[in-house]
Amino acid sequence: MSQVNKVVLAYSGGLDTSIIAKWLTDEYGCEVVTFTADIGQGEEVEPARAKAEAMGIKEIYIEDLREEFAKDFVFPMMRANAIYEGEYRLGTSIARPLISKRLVEIAKEVGADAIAHGATGKGNDQVRFELAAYALMPDVKVIAPWREWDLLSREKLMAYAEEHDIAIDNKKKGKKSPYSMDANLLHISYEGGVIEDPANEPEEDMWMWTVSPENAPDEPTYLDIGYEKGDIVSINGEAMSAATVMEYLNKVGGENGVGRDDIVENRFVGMKARGCYETPAGTIMLKAHRAMESLTLDRNAAHLKDDLMPRYAEMIYNGFWFSPEREMLQTLIDQSQEFVTGSVRLKLYKGNVVIVGRSSDVSLFDEEIATFDEDDGAYNHKDAEGFIKLNALRLRIAAKKRK
């Protein structure tokens, strides 16, 4: 085991990372610095300070990163309409590079020679955390306890906690939590428990952010979403910051049963995994952004973006946010948003997001040409004949030659 003097731990204050804090001290004989990020998980993060102090931690970082997360990570991803394997809105994936970025920055500030995280050896998060860290601090040592220790069951973790007097919040001490959950401004995810079997329907009481579509209000909720250069800047005429936009859309979307997904996805490490997700804000944002682009983005530019989007989404899913290829694509995507400005009107109704209108001062929709009524010569119908014949030329030649 190589010498480590000081390590910065991504610390949630939960059972796993509390055990890791103690384990690092015992196994590596090093000083532990904790870092807890508020990225909109909906829980108080300040109690993590008391837990860290109780374990003798001297340097404790607790930071509100909601605005940075929304503005610099989620919003750029939304400009690309990114979605992995046609369904997953990348809620966990997009949060990891920000956490790694701060881990590395804090490591440099305090003179640490290592960082640590609580991701398991079976999941994607270990890859995401570490790829980001190495991109930003090439020589950093990464400690991943789940790949080193033998505490590979809930029971062993609980026994370790009791042996070392590590506080456990769960009043039902020893009872296995039914789901592994992860939350931030973009989503909340559920894995394990009864949904580990892809054949089982999720239990209704599992969902925390959304009402069921069946129990959603019988009257629709209308929203007017304002855009500037591909980003949401207002809702119903009220200017909002990036994080406030997402908080508001999570609330109103959840109330209308919007954003539930049940997915079997292909993890980067090679296995298939079933996860359930609530992504109210992300579901609304994706639908609204595509509507805004439909009015303001050139056809071929839009099609090129759609061609590239799966690769962009895969880069984020696999942990390559800080890669040159993602940054290259981001430049292209951001350039495409120069005139994606205007407003989209939509209604939320029993789990559905329905676009009912869109407008823009830089709209490419020309009513004079598109009209089904008399267009006063704006469009010459006879031009279509040559257009069709030229496009049919190769088909006609092939058909004649192959008879």
pLDDT tens figures, 90-147: 999 999 999 999 999 999 999 999 999 999 999 999 999 999 999 999 999 999 999 9
Residue 213 CA to residue 261 CA, distance in Å, equals 12
Among 66, 79, 96, 102, the one annotated catalytic:
96
pTM score, two decimals? 0.94
Among 66, 100, 125, 260, the one annotated catalytic:
125
- Mean pLDDT computed over 20-26: 94
Structure tokens at 227: 């855009």
- Mean pLDDT computed over 342-365: 98
- The question of whether 96 is a catalytic residue gets the answer yes
Structure tokens at 264: 């079997």
pLDDT at 212 over 50: yes
Taking CB atoms within 8 Å and a gap of at least 24, the contacts of 353-362 are 353/253, 353/258, 353/283, 353/284, 353/287, 353/288, 354/220, 355/287, 355/288, 355/291, 356/222, 358/291, 358/292, 358/294, 358/295, 359/295, 360/292, 360/295, 360/296, 362/296
Residue ranges covered by each domain of the chain: 6-66+91-177, 181-297+339-359, 375-401
pLDDT, position 169: 62
Among 16, 38, 231, 343, the one annotated catalytic:
16
pLDDT at 171 over 70: no
The CATH classification number of 6-66+91-177 equals: 3.40.50.620
Q: How confident is the model at residue 152 (pLDDT cuts 50, 70, 90)?
A: confident
Alpha helix (H) ranges present in 205-279?
A: 242-255
pLDDT at 265 over 60: yes
- Mean pLDDT computed over 164-178: 61
Low-confidence winner among 79-88, 152-161, 302-311 (lowest mean pLDDT): 152-161
Tell me: domain 181-297+339-359, CATH 3.40.50.300, correct? no
pLDDT, position 175: 47
Residue 243 CA to residue 224 CA, distance in Å, equals 17
- The question of whether 241 is a catalytic residue gets the answer no
How confident is the prediction for the chain on average, in pLDDT?
A: 94
DSSP string for 176-223: PPS-EEEE-SS-EEEESGGGGSTTSPPPGGG-SS---GGGS-SS-EEE
Among 154, 180, 224, 294, the one annotated catalytic:
180
Residue 115 CA to residue 286 CA, distance in Å, equals 34
